[in-house]
Chains A and B, each alone.
Chain A
């Protein structure tokens, strides 16, 4: 075989090129730049993967339930299993070779790049959210885990996506259910929640007032029949629930819960329950115990009657004081002076009683109140002792009038009419066990000698008769030359 010099040159050049190619191929294999080789087989060429069995890891990834993918060290998708291609919504062919960050929603992409940054040497995980655009579609939540991986000749990452959407939403639902339950449970009113069929799904502790037994799972209208006022029996509990579920709320209607154990009267409100969107999924029924309000109304009526009684009594007393005063007064001016003094005495006792809510009053307070216009606190000419005894309003008013008359007399004619006079008001006995009258002594000294009080004067009548309404009550005089002495007895039934 012979060849021309130019052919030889070309042959040598080809051989050199082939040799250079062979050397380059060996270098590339040695330096891990290739991962498959073409071998000439007996029939045709065959392809052999080198440095890793790609098929086996793919089969393994496909068998995984979570989404899984393999990335090279530049974040490009080498392979993604069926679960993940479904999640991303693109076929594998469109994903391979693409950067994962470019095919994920931006938020998820940011999270994943942080994750890959962390997972250089060890497994890392991070929660990732895939927002959904569709109306009513909930965002998806995944726990993404990444770990370093060597696939054949290249380094990269394996990333898995475990769907935790249900867990995330269940946690959310659980929290809001917790909150709703806490709100219902903390209500003082009976709160019951029904589904669309009128079956009770929630009942707070306070609802035990309308039905003592098991409530959840029972039909509301069966265990809590209601009779609504002013509806002439046209509406019953089941009608109410049907109305509410149809969208019409019911606010503050009085009803009688005929089967309720104790309290029967309630103020009932019911509102449609909307859990998600506009759909009504049931009804929330609130029942407020009206017994307290009824009791308050009753108390009010009692008070009005009591007030009416007192006003009439007072008017009768005023009329009597007026008539008696007029009978004894010589002039209109004298009448005015005495009459207004007596009315003021009455008013002072009323004031004291009002301050004590008309419950009871201490005798000492009454004495001080009547003496106050005439005696200075620091005067030292009055001694009050042992009168910290509370009496009922009836006795207080009568005692007030008695003290007023005695005070007026002492100021005009007795111990308080001049310097050096002294008045002592003190308890002298009785009142033990509330079975005998409590006796108070009014003793004047150091005043001018005065004739006994006229027996027919109104003052005398008031003093001696005012407390005679009860057993042992009344007053008697002892005209000591050194000064007036009066013993006043409070009927035992009015001692508090």
Chain B
């Protein structure tokens, strides 16, 4: 199976960041169990990490793998939108 990786960029405990973390955990557990490696990056701890994926708005979810990279901005409360974005151009 191709490597798959999601990175969620958050900023400390802003309400949207917390909501995004909780929503992502839920979506992964309910719809994509075991399919993605998930990393949460707290830009308040290390703002430089925003450069790698040119993050501007927080929270932002980045599908790093498989390529092409996909970005999804917001608290991930729209499950359907998240699933569509993660599966589009999957190439699988």
Contact = CB atoms under 8 A, between A and B. Distances in A.
Nearest to A76: B22
Interface string A38-63: 10000011110100001000000000
A79 interface: yes
Contact of B51 (A35, A45, A97, A98): A45
Contact of A21 (B43, B50, B71): B71
A34 B21 contact: no
Contact of A78 (B13, B58, B59, B60): B13
B47 A24 contact: no
Interface of B: 11-19, 21-22, 25, 43-44, 47-48, 50-51, 54-60, 71, 73-75, 77
A152 interface: yes
A25 B58 contact: no
Contact of A45 (B14, B22, B48, B77): B48
A33 B75 contact: yes
A45 B47 contact: yes
Contact of A96 (B13, B25, B48, B58): B13
Contact of B15 (A25, A28, A47, A152): A152
The winner among A28, A38, A72 for most chain B CB atoms within 10 A is A38
A156 interface: yes
Given A24-B73, A46-B47, A47-B43, A79 B16 contact: no
A263 interface: no
A38 B50 contact: yes
Contacts of A371: none
Given A36-B57, A47-B11, A77-B18, 8 more contacts: A25-B73, A34-B16, A35-B58, A37-B58, A38-B50, A44-B47, A45-B50, A153-B16
B46 to A, nearest CB: 9
Contacts of A45: 43, 47-48, 50-51
25 contacts: A21-B54, A24-B73, A25-B73, A28-B74, A33-B57, A34-B59, A35-B11, A35-B16, A35-B17, A36-B11, A36-B58, A38-B47, A38-B58, A45-B48, A45-B51, A49-B11, A54-B12, A70-B15, A72-B15, A72-B18, A72-B19, A97-B18, A97-B19, A153-B16, A154-B75
Contact of A34 (B47, B58, B77): B58
Nearest to B71: A21
Contacts of A37: 56-58
Contacts of B43: 36, 38, 45, 47
A491 B5 CA distance: 130
A168 interface: no
Contact of B74 (A34, A44, A46, A47): A34
A76 B44 CA distance: 21
A329 interface: no
A151 B15 contact: yes
A31 to B, nearest CB: 8
Contacts of A21: 54, 71
A424 interface: no
B20 to A, nearest CB: 9
A74 interface: yes
Given A47-B43, A72-B18, A54 B74 contact: no
B59 to A, nearest CB: 7
A36 B74 contact: no
Contacts of B56: 25, 37-38
A154 B73 contact: no
